[in-house]
Structure 1
Amino acid sequence: MKKYLLFTPGPVNVAENVRMAICKEDICHREIDFDHLLQSVENKLLKIFQIRNMANYRAVVITGSGTAANESILSSVVGDKNILILSNGEFGERLYNISKVHNKNTFLLNFGWGVALNFSEIKAYLKEHKIDIVAMVHHETSSGMLNSLEKVGALSKANGSMFIVDCVSSAGAEVVDMEKHHIAFCSSSSSKAIGSYPGLSFVLGAKEEFEKLKFLPINSTYLNLYKFYHFIKTISQTPNTPAIPLFFALEQGLVNILNRGISNRHADIRDKAHLLRQGMLSSGLKFLIPQKDMCSVLTTVHMPSNIDIDAFRHKLREKSIIIYEGKGSFKGKVFQVANIGELSFTDIKYFLTSLAEVIQSFRPIKLRPTIPANTPSLVLSHIKNNLTGIPVIPGVPVIPGEIV
């Protein structure tokens, strides 16, 4: 099978040791081998999220995508309380749609796709309405925008509201400080900036918040968040059969981050984003949102008006490069390029060279006529003044020449 460079926010190209880890010996999920594996993964997740008081927090791992982790939270923690979803893109809307299924008191403050959160509006809304829980997406992947944990966390605390965050595509690339920003629960997944395979997700939360869940109604069997917490707390296992090979791969991905150093890992991703963005700007491309609002994971770029997105992606694919097309209202109008996973600086330079070549291939072809050497000067003058294409003059042979 052909190898592709995945310039996508997930799945990503994984490290060779992650690829090998998924092939470890078979173990049983009800034996001590898996107990130790799950304990190791949980401990490393708490470190990745830079939890300082680790004794006060737990991390549960779910076999399912990041959406499974989000649904586990939203179906388990709300009960009869009022929850406000802040949205400025596809994944904020997804939180809202999930919550509506499980919680009748779900409210939405929608700022529009690719529009920065308005903190004055959020503050006013919290003042005017009784809101018990605030939920939002940290990195809104549909636009590449990074929403502020600090500001929304402070507003939630001032209002006495629980703060829930979808960190699915930011964890491992951006700082997520649960304690500083008053985050009760946050979600993420294995296949994005964590650098492993898709198929696992996790929920981190304060023990005291997990303990409160046992008093709330059960809205889901498989995604019952308290059940996951109870199993890991009491027997260091999962309620249902886990995808064990993915746990081995996730553990190795976490080891890779910790060995590199979390701050160094973040810096690497930022440096790759900078190289990528400078190169695309040099090619005359324009970004969807200001760079100051971008996450370091992903860049969303306006499609040049003369280029068809499908043909564009096909030509890049022929060069072993995979990118994202825009979704929803952005479909056909933008493309997205991520810089996470095992993409080197050399890979990014190759992408930029390939991108320039592909863009050039869509530019209109101009033809320059080849004119016989004995053409009279009067006719030459007429030809030079004809700017509409290849001149055709009765009696004068004009032969199309090379492409310019």
Structure 2
Amino acid sequence: MESFVFPGNIEPEISLIASRPIPYMRTAAFSAVVKSSEQMLLHLIGCPTGKVIFYTASGTGAMDAVVANYVSRYKKIFIISGGSFGDRWKNICDYYNLSSTLYKIPFAKDIDYEDLEKKVASERPEIFLCQHHETSTGQLFDLEKISVLCKKYNVSLVVDAISSFLADPLNMAELGIDICITSSQKGLNIAPGLSFVILSDKLSSASFNANGYYFDFEENLNNLQRGQTPYSPATTLFLQLHERLKRDVACGVDAIISTVRGRALYFRGLCKKYGWEVPAETPSNCITGFFVKRNGDILFEKMMEKGIYIMPGGTPGYFRVSHLGIQDEKSLAALAETIHQVELL
């Protein structure tokens, strides 16, 4: 299959790591892999003196962990929601019976930042939860403006960077972000199954709530001092992660983002050629969301019949194409032509 969903097509050298004998994780060698991975992740996300908590879980597991351990310390919670993933912050807070204010953004629209400031000034929240990129719509939010706002009103900033990490510029230290989360199957382009909570050094002496067992911050941080997780990790995924991170550090963040941006801009040119609307006001480099003109009800299945994965968007006629993983202008041109041919059926 040609994959334009997450994580996309993966280099055979990294995929084949999964076929090797699985090493025992309670060893000095595996601890070295974990510690090295932590330092490389911190470097790539611009938080060199922070800490990384590794979970064998999806990105939602990391969101859950952040709410249970950190967000639950606060009484006044403010959530940006531009789609299903912003709503997920709200749903998790509701699960823990945490009262929150939900600031809704229309489909694929950017935030009205002046109105947002008025709301924050009125509500005076203690903590602010948002996505950098709302993956369901393709809309990228302006973290610099959000950061200025949070600093002005002394609000702790927590960012879901699951789909923006290594696709759009993000520097935790410069933006004053307290916690970022990301996962393995998007910008890191390895299989799903690992998620990461990145804590800024501002939280190095913080105390956390203990509202869960597996996701407990303190237990995980204590074990990570020796390069281990408290419970059995996805060992093979850690080895794939380590190899990916070594390649990413060698390539450099700017070069990686430039490559992803080039793919996104090229495909959006093809969308214009075929008359497909790209609704996001400020689209992320990570994906292109677009409306086809015809046959949206059969497009997903027809593309799979042709050996191609794209992402349905939950709205009639709306689809998303990832720009992560192995792809180039030739493969994107072929993808667009195949979609166009299905439209003509």
Same fold, TM exceeding 0.5? yes
Deviations 1:353-404 (A, max 9, x none): 222222222xxxxxxxxxxxxxxxxxxxxxxxxxxxxxxxxxxxxxxxxxxx
Deviations 1:271-328 (A, max 9, x none): 11111111121012112223xx000111111131x4242x21222223221111112x
Aligned counterpart for 2:232 among listed residues 229, 236, 241: 241
One-letter amino acid of the counterpart of residue 279, structure 1: L
1:342 equivalent to 2:342? Answer no
User: Could you tell me how far 1:210 is from its partner in structure 2?
Assistant: 4.3
One-letter amino acid of the counterpart of residue 339, structure 2: L
Distance in 2 (alpha carbons) for counterparts of 1:179 and 1:22: 34
1:64 match: secondary structure = coil
Aligned runs of 1:241-260 on 2, under 5 Å? 241-260=232-251
Aligned counterpart for 1:269 among listed residues 255, 260, 275: 260
Distance in 2 (alpha carbons) for counterparts of 1:263 and 1:207: 24
User: Could you tell me how far 1:103 is from its partner in structure 2?
Assistant: 4.9
Provide the residue aligned with 2:289 in structure 1: 300
> What's the TM-score once normalised by structure 1's chain length?
0.82
Provide the residue aligned with 1:45 in structure 2: 41
Distance in 2 (alpha carbons) for counterparts of 1:31 and 1:285: 53
User: Could you tell me how far 1:225 is from its partner in structure 2?
Assistant: 2.1
Distance in 2 (alpha carbons) for counterparts of 1:271 and 1:314: 28
Provide the residue aligned with 2:132 in structure 1: 138
Q: Is the 8 A contact 1:76 1:224 kept in 2?
A: yes
Provide the residue aligned with 1:17 in structure 2: 13
Provide the residue aligned with 1:360 in structure 2: 344
Higher relative contact order (CA 8 A, sep 6+): 2
Q: Alpha carbons of 1:161 and 1:115: their partners in 2 closer, same or farther (altered >3 Å)?
A: same
Aligned runs of 1:25-174 on 2, under 5 Å? 25-51=21-47, 54=48, 56-78=49-71, 79-174=73-168
Higher-Rg member (1/2): 1
One-letter amino acid of the counterpart of residue 201, structure 2: K
Distance in 2 (alpha carbons) for counterparts of 1:313 and 1:104: 38
User: Could you tell me how far 1:269 is from its partner in structure 2?
Assistant: 0.6
1:179 match: secondary structure = helix
User: Where do 5+ consecutive residues of structure 1 fail to align?
Assistant: 362-404
Provide the residue aligned with 1:6 in structure 2: 3
1:170 match: secondary structure = coil
Q: How many pairs were matched up?
A: 344
User: Could you tell me how far 1:236 is from its partner in structure 2?
Assistant: 1.6
User: Where do 5+ consecutive residues of structure 2 fail to align?
Assistant: none
Q: Alpha carbons of 1:104 and 1:318: their partners in 2 closer, same or farther (altered >3 Å)?
A: closer
User: Could you tell me how far 1:65 is from its partner in structure 2?
Assistant: 0.6
2:175 match: secondary structure = coil
Distance in 2 (alpha carbons) for counterparts of 1:202 and 1:173: 17
1:180 match: secondary structure = helix
Deviations 1:161-205 (A, max 9, x none): 100000001101111110111100000000011111100000111
Aligned runs of 1:214-233 on 2, under 5 Å? 216-233=208-225
Q: Alpha carbons of 1:16 and 1:287: their partners in 2 closer, same or farther (altered >3 Å)?
A: same
Percent sequence identity is: 24
> What's the TM-score once normalised by structure 2's chain length?
0.95
Distance in 1 (alpha carbons) for counterparts of 2:12 and 2:222: 34
